Amino acid sequence: MDLRHTMKGRRTLTAVAITAGLLLTVAGCGGGGGDDKSKETSSTSSASSGKDESGSQQSPAPSADKVLATAKAGDITVTITSAQRDQGGFVTVSGQVTNGGSSSWLGADWQSNETELAGNGGSLSGASLVDEKGKKKYLVLRDTSGRCLCTKFSRVRPGDSTSWFAQFPAPPEGTNAVNFQVGSLPPTAINLTEGE
């Protein structure tokens, strides 16, 4: 068999694999069964889709039944619902931010002052985890393009809440008590849990 036939066969196999993957994805996302849950699902779809209306990256909706910590600065209240150590060597902290003020909030004072992260705008790029016992500070992870592995906020209107997340390098094994810090919020003590 010559090279041209081999390449044509590989392209055909690749196309078949991609098509099969897409069909499985569509089948997995299929029908809701027509019960009343479809109304509930549609009302939360923007939070669970990973993007908000403006296309900004958002975290999955955190579990509302377990609150690890709460911090408040002015009209902004932050609730931390998860601080999980993952096997990949990082920690994901997530929760909700609520705007209790009378004007919209963008999170501008939460952004990092690092030059590399300047393009992240109103985000959690300035957040950190502090291990007081080990005397170490862990900054938000970023990708090779300088985007933080964290939520970038769009406008949070008065009275509204939005989900957030931020990923950090994991402290050493055995270090489970850290402080979460961002912007003018007071340091908030949280305990890390092990991922599943």
Domain segments of the chain: what residues? 3-30, 52-194
What is the per-residue pLDDT for 38?
41
CB atoms within 10 A of CB 84: 15
What is the per-residue pLDDT for 115?
64
Beta bridge partners of 71: 78
What is the per-residue pLDDT for 106?
80
Q: What φ, ψ does residue 43 adopt, rounded to 5°?
A: -75, -20
Q: Which fold has domain 52-194?
A: Immunoglobulin-like (2.60.40)
Q: Exposure of 91 by Cβ count < 10 A (0-12 exposed, 13-18 middle, 19+ buried)?
A: buried
Ordered mean pLDDT values, 10 residues apiece, the chain (196 residues): 52 52 48 45 38 45 70 90 90 93 82 66 82 91 84 86 92 91 89 82
Q: Is 192 in contact with 179 (CB distance < 8 Å)? A: no
- Tracing tokens 């016992």 back to the chain, one arrives at 133
- Tracing tokens 């938000």 back to the chain, one arrives at 140
CB atoms within 10 A of CB 57: 15
Beta bridge partners of 105: 156
Cβ partners under 8 Å of residue 88, min gap 6: none
Q: In degrees, to the nearest 5, what angle opens at C-alpha 71 toward C-alphas 173 and 88?
A: 25
pTM: 0.63
- Local structure of 25: helix, strand or coil: helix
Cβ partners under 8 Å of residue 151, min gap 6: 56, 57, 58, 59, 123, 124, 162, 163, 164, 165, 166
What is the per-residue pLDDT for 155?
83
What is the per-residue pLDDT for 146?
78
DSSP assignment, residue 142? B
